[in-house]
């Protein structure tokens, strides 16, 4: 069960980090639009489509990665006061009552949206109606069922986490991940101070021996 959790966490982390590169595409596209709009006075016809398609895909495909890191918004005013076994029991029930039905609805409804989108224009796919550029959007509607399937897979891993916690009384550890810059800088400072104290202690010990 721990192996399954690790494999699913690793896979959804890889997907989330791969789609995170869309942030660069989004930043470059928006910067280019600002330049040509306000400097060259020649705005593009595709910038709006790019912004909501890129951000929407990033948001959807990062959902499973966020769930794996336990980073979704949680109302834990009471939850955090419970023992791990109680937390795991409640989460296990909630996953089957609310999470999986909602995610399955997303997968099946999203698949219908995607198939319908691909069937437009005699099979050439749907294009955006928000601009005259005719940006293809069928591939982005396909993100809906794919993201739902990833969430479902990660949900299975979370159920395994709950079962392990109920048996052992402790939550399985999450994979290591990037830290906020402030946390990383604070850790570097603490490591430097610890190293300095170690050098001072060794110097004093050497002087006492001398």
Which pLDDT tens digit goes with each residue over 29-71?
A: 999 999 999 999 988 888 888 888 899 999 999 999 999 988 8
What are the sequence ranges of the domains in the chain? Answer: 2-178, 181-210
Output the pLDDT for position 182.
63
> Of the given ranges (72-76, 109-113, 158-162, 179-183), which has the lowest mean pLDDT?
179-183
pLDDT at 79 over 70: yes
pLDDT for the residue numbered 18: 93
Q: Residue 7: pLDDT band by 50, 70, 90 thresholds? A: very high
Q: Which of 65-69, 133-137, 204-208 has the lowest mean pLDDT?
A: 204-208
Q: 140: which 2 tokens?
A: 């982005």
pLDDT of residue 9: 93
CA 144/CA 106 separation, integer angstroms = 7
Report H helices in 40-142. 47-61, 63-68, 84-94, 100-118, 120-123, 138-141
Question: Confidence band (pLDDT; 50, 70, 90) for 89?
Answer: very high
What pLDDT is attached to residue 36? 93
Measured CA to CA, the distance from residue 78 to residue 100 in angstroms comes to 23
Does the pLDDT at position 92 exceed 90?
A: yes
Looking at residue 194, its pLDDT comes to 82
What confidence tier does 82 reach under pLDDT thresholds 50, 70, 90?
very high
Give percent of the chain above pLDDT 90: 55
- Number of Cβ within 10 Å of residue 32's Cβ equals 13
Q: What are phi and psi of 95, to 5 degrees?
A: -60, -45
Q: Is the pLDDT of residue 128 over 90?
A: no
For 138-187, how does the pLDDT look when each residue is reduced to its tens digit (9 = 90+)? 999 999 999 999 999 999 999 999 999 999 999 988 776 655 566 667 77
Of 68-72, 85-89, 185-189, the range with the lowest mean pLDDT is 185-189
Q: Is pLDDT of 3 > 80?
A: yes
Other beta carbons within 10 angstroms of residue 143's beta carbon come to 19
Residue 208 pLDDT class (50, 70, 90 cuts): low
Per-residue model confidence (pLDDT) at position 206: 67
């Amino acid at each position: 069960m721990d192996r399954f959790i690790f494999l699913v966490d690793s896979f959804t982390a890889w997907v989330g980090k791969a789609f995170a590169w869309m942030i660069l595409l989004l930043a470059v596209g928006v910067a280019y639009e600002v330049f040509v709009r306000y400097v060259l006075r020649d705005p593009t016809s595709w910038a709006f489509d790019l912004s909501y398609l890129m951000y929407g895909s990033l948001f959807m495909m990062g959902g499973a990665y966020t769930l794996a890191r336990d980073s979704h918004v949680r109302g834990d005013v009471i939850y955090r006061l419970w023992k791990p076994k109680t937390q795991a029991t409640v989460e296990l029930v909630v996953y089957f009552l609310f999470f999986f039905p909602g995610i399955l609805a997303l997968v099946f409804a999203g698949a219908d949206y995607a198939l319908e989108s691909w069937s437009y224009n005699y099979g050439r796919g749907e294009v955006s109606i928000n601009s005259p550029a005719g940006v293809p959007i069928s591939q982005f509607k396909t993100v809906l069922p794919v993201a739902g399937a990833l969430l479902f897979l990660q949900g299975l891993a979370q159920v395994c986490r709950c079962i392990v916690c109920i048996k052992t009384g402790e939550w399985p550890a999450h994979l290591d991940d990037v830290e906020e810059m402030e946390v990383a800088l604070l850790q570097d400072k603490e490591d430097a101070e610890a190293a300095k104290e170690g050098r001072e202690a060794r110097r004093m010990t050497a002087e006492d021996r001398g």
